[in-house]
Amino acid sequence: MAEETKVTACYMCWQQCEVKMRIKDGVLKEVTGNPGGFVGGGYGCERLEGAPEFHYHPKRLNYPLKRTGERGEGKWEQISWEQALDEIAEKLLAIRDEFGPEAITKIGGTVHGPADWACWRFFNIWGSPNAFNQGKNCGQANNLQECAVYGWDSLGCGPKPGATKTIVCWGANPIHSWMTKWNYIKSAMDYGARLIVIDPRLSETASHADLWIQLRPATDGALAWGVIKILIDEGLYDKEFVDNWCTGFDEIVERAKEFPVEKVAQITEVPVDKIIQLAHYYADGPTCMCWGLATCHLGDGAGQVATHAQAVLRAITGNVDREGGNPMTGPHEDVDWFKGIAWDEFIINTERTRDCVTAEKFPICSVKSLKRYNESIKKAWGGKGYGCSFYMLFPASRGIFDAIRYGDPYPIKAMFIQTGDPLVTLGGVKNCYEAMKQVELLVGMDFFMTPSMALCDYVLPAASWIERPHLMLFWGLTNVAVAFKQPMEALYERKDDYYLWKELAKRCQLEGEWPETLEDMYSLFLRPTGKTLAEMAESEVYWTAPPEAYKRYETNGYGFGTPSGKCELVPSVVAAAGLDPLPQYIEPPQSKYRTPELAEKYPLALISGSRIRPYWHTSYRELKTLRWRHEQPVVEIHPETARTFGIADGEMVYIETTHGRCRQKARVIEGIAPGTVHAEAYWYFPELPEEEPWLFGMWDANINACVSDDYEDLDYAGDHPFRAMLCKIYKAETATAYDLPVFKGVD
């Protein structure tokens, strides 16, 4: 029996751990962490147990499909790739002729691989600024603030064992969401670092904390300002750094006066002594405030003030670009990332034509604003200066749907869905659904028939990480790139995601280099190293990573990547976009203080979508190897809330908001405040029927059908208020989520 071992990077989530695959007679038997691996150091999570099942699953999409019935009727015919590509290209060209290049959009998810950059490359050369990825909800509010205040983001940073003294997980639960980072946190704690967790729930990470701050949801801005005030009053900030490197400190001092600790305690519902403890711990650095998602989901006003105050906090304590604090990666220097995705062409093309559909409504996310960021980032970091690039640009999804439905501000006629399941992962799902029903051309590419795929005109079968070469590019957000050759041949007619865009580019006669294979495209990215992908993958050093560096603002001849070269505590690029650069604290769009009348009807604060293992958002619910670990969606409520609303542990309940309702199973726990409810997100049931009205039961359990995407509820960057709604809960009549037909929500 021929048995072989192949090494590659797992992409069952974006941590991309190095793994080894045991293959017997050409059949994938087992995938495990690769001891000593460059990423993960041999770590492998339980998802790997599902890898062989995922690869051979009977429900995998294996051939291109074309819709034969109405959208969502579940009627398909198998067609060839040639036919699919020819027909799609022909329609695209006709749309461009009639409505302009901006009339196409792509909805994608978080970092998933070649689909992301290959699409951006196509859109950049084609000339549409309306590509959308879930980066929108996945850190955009935070990245824009960090880049505005100190000219780069610290998204990928983690604590440094031995150097970091204080670790802050602010609205982050890495035991479930970022295990490779959690391994660093544990190691730093072994060296004596303390852990602070700021979270309304007693998350698993919070259960390991030296200090758990259980704040009222979405009041993070007030908490951060309360801490800033204590640091200033007690002289616990980094005076030398502030004097030499910061602008706007006087305004910060003035604003901080509005946040005496008693007032902050009243707003956040955190006891005074805990807030003081938090400030004292924070000041005892180096302090690493790891990136946490929560403050990007607080909705209008609340999100901007929280993400801004967090950036100020990192800055005035001197933790920015500091060893053990919040280091910054800077751009990829060994990888032609921006050239690879044709970023210059994007700028040129959109200057000729129109900005993205929500450039007026959310001016911080526009080409004009990106250019302002660029000018100074370039001075500090060299290269092209595009910084976290797409994070500065994604249009608000609601704007895309309005462009499709109403032609406002101009029409969008074609939508691609690749690496995303917008019907399940976006807020305002009902608007998304209507737009998907109306758009002229709807093309999807995925591993499985998902709710979003079920509505498409063409569904294309994607090859996975098991069947494609690997280069870790991570949207340009890290400067580490690891290379592996393709471990196994793609099964059936599955293709890598680059293939789609390359073939469409050829058919549409787009300019630029479009090499035949994904591997050759990766070699183009790697040009600065002088190596091809295969050469790098086969060398002893199969990655590129710059040496550790800190405080580069002192030596780069310019300072921070901001217009003044300083840490701008009141950032001028935010002001230049027409926004308040020193936002006032404001309650989330729905709250007992901001909307007291609404709170009478919907008395509970709703947070939704915290990460749960083993899932990766919507993914892997069809895998028997994993599903048993967590079979149904669960809503967490406090025993007192349960008593008030007559709900017992394990009962099915409705969660209802101003925008809809869905059902989940109650879990009654102490580790959540009585006024707060936590609902799971990303649920659909692959075992239920595909055709409408079922759509795999996604209306039944989908909390995102209850999350607002009204413009006035979105934050300054246009992100959704996933953690800032009000709700009520009540018992559902039936016991499981499987036996009810579809529920379309409250009108």
| Cis before 693? omega within 30 | yes
Per-residue contact flags (x/-) with ligand MGD for residues 108 to 147, judged by CB under 6 A: -xx-xx-x------------------x--xx---------
256 counts as binding ligand SF4 under rule CB under 6 A: no
Contact segment (CB under 6 A) with ligand SF4 among 37-45, 451-459, 511-519, 525-533 equals: 37-45
- Provide the minimum distance between the beta carbon of 356 and ligand MGD in the complex, in angstroms, as a whole number: 19
Please identify which residue in 18, 153, 199, 568 interacts with ligand MGD, judged by CB under 6 A.
199
268 counts as binding ligand SF4 under rule CB under 6 A: no
Ramachandran area for residue 333 (φ above 0: left; ψ -120 to 50: alpha; else beta)? alpha
Contacts (CB under 5 A) with Mo ion, residues 97-156: 110, 138
Which residues fall within 8 angstroms of residue 54, CB to CB, at 6 or more apart? 12, 60, 447, 464, 466, 620, 623
Decide the pairing of beta strands 660-668 and 634-637. parallel
Contacts (CB under 6 A) with ligand MGD, residues 278-307: 292-294, 297-298
217 counts as binding ligand MGD under rule CB under 6 A: yes
Contacts (CB under 5 A) with Mo ion, residues 703-722: none
Give the Å distances, CA to CA, from 382 to 183, 343, 374, 377, 560.
33, 15, 10, 7, 12
Strand partners, 195: 167
Q: What is the 3-state secondary structure (H, E, C) of 343-400?
A: HHHHHHHHHHCCCCCCCCCCCCCCHHHHHHHHHHHHHHHCCCCCCCHHHHCCCCHHHH
Contact indicator for 458, 444 with CB cutoff of 8 Å: yes
Give the helix ranges, DSSP H, for 151-219: 174-177, 179-190
Listed residue (460, 394, 399, 409) closest to 435, CA to CA: 399
What is the CA angle 356-359-364, rounded to 5? 125
Contact indicator for 618, 450 with CB cutoff of 8 Å: yes
Give the Å distances, CA to CA, from 308 to 34, 226, 387, 534.
40, 13, 18, 43
Please identify which residue in 616, 683, 716, 743 interacts with ligand MGD, judged by CB under 6 A.
616
45 counts as binding ligand SF4 under rule CB under 6 A: yes
The tokens for 516 are 């035949």
523 counts as binding ligand MGD under rule CB under 6 A: no
- Residue 354 or 611 with smaller CB distance to Mo ion: 611
Contact segment (CB under 6 A) with ligand SF4 among 7-15, 503-511, 512-520, 644-652 equals: 7-15
Contact segment (CB under 6 A) with ligand MGD among 105-113, 118-126, 365-373, 658-666 equals: 105-113
Which residues fall within 8 angstroms of residue 517, CB to CB, at 6 or more apart? none
Q: What is the 3-state secondary structure (H, E, C) of 484-533?
A: ECCCCCCCCCCECHHHHHHHHHHHCCCCCCCCCCHHHHHHHHCHHHCCCH
State the binding partner of 455 from ligand MGD, Mo ion, ligand SF4, none, CB within 5 to 8 A by kind.
Answer: none
Distance CA 483, CA 522 (A): 9
State the binding partner of 681 from ligand MGD, ligand SF4, Mo ion, none, CB within 5 to 8 A by kind.
Answer: ligand MGD
Residues in contact with ligand SF4, total (CB under 6 A)? 12
State the binding partner of 456 from ligand SF4, Mo ion, ligand MGD, none, CB within 5 to 8 A by kind.
Answer: none
State the binding partner of 420 from Mo ion, ligand MGD, ligand SF4, none, CB within 5 to 8 A by kind.
Answer: ligand MGD
Distance CA 322, CA 184 (A): 17
Contact indicator for 491, 483 with CB cutoff of 8 Å: no
- Residue 13 or 367 with smaller CB distance to ligand SF4: 13
Q: In this structure, which amino acid lies at residue 312?
A: V
Please identify which residue in 450, 486, 523, 708 interacts with ligand MGD, judged by CB under 6 A.
450
- Residue 498 or 553 with smaller CB distance to ligand MGD: 498
253 counts as binding ligand SF4 under rule CB under 6 A: no
Contacts (CB under 6 A) with ligand SF4, residues 164-223: 179
Contact indicator for 312, 342 with CB cutoff of 8 Å: no
CB atoms within 10 A of CB 282: 24
Distance CA 226, CA 610 (A): 26
- Provide the minimum distance between the beta carbon of 82 and ligand SF4 in the complex, in angstroms, as a whole number: 34
State the binding partner of 310 from Mo ion, ligand SF4, ligand MGD, none, CB within 5 to 8 A by kind.
Answer: none
State the binding partner of 45 from ligand SF4, Mo ion, ligand MGD, none, CB within 5 to 8 A by kind.
Answer: ligand SF4
44 counts as binding ligand SF4 under rule CB under 6 A: yes
48 counts as binding ligand SF4 under rule CB under 6 A: yes
722 counts as binding ligand MGD under rule CB under 6 A: yes
Residue nearest to Mo ion (CB): 138
For 47, the 3-state DSSP assignment is helix
296 counts as binding Mo ion under rule CB under 5 A: no
10 counts as binding ligand SF4 under rule CB under 6 A: yes
Site of interaction with ligand MGD (CB under 6 A) = 13, 109-110, 112-113, 115, 134, 137-138, 170-174, 176-178, 198-201, 203, 217-218, 220, 292-294, 297-298, 418-421, 425, 445-448, 450, 462, 497, 607-611, 613, 615-619, 681, 703-704, 707, 722-723
Site of interaction with ligand SF4 (CB under 6 A) = 10, 12-13, 15-17, 40, 44-45, 47-48, 179
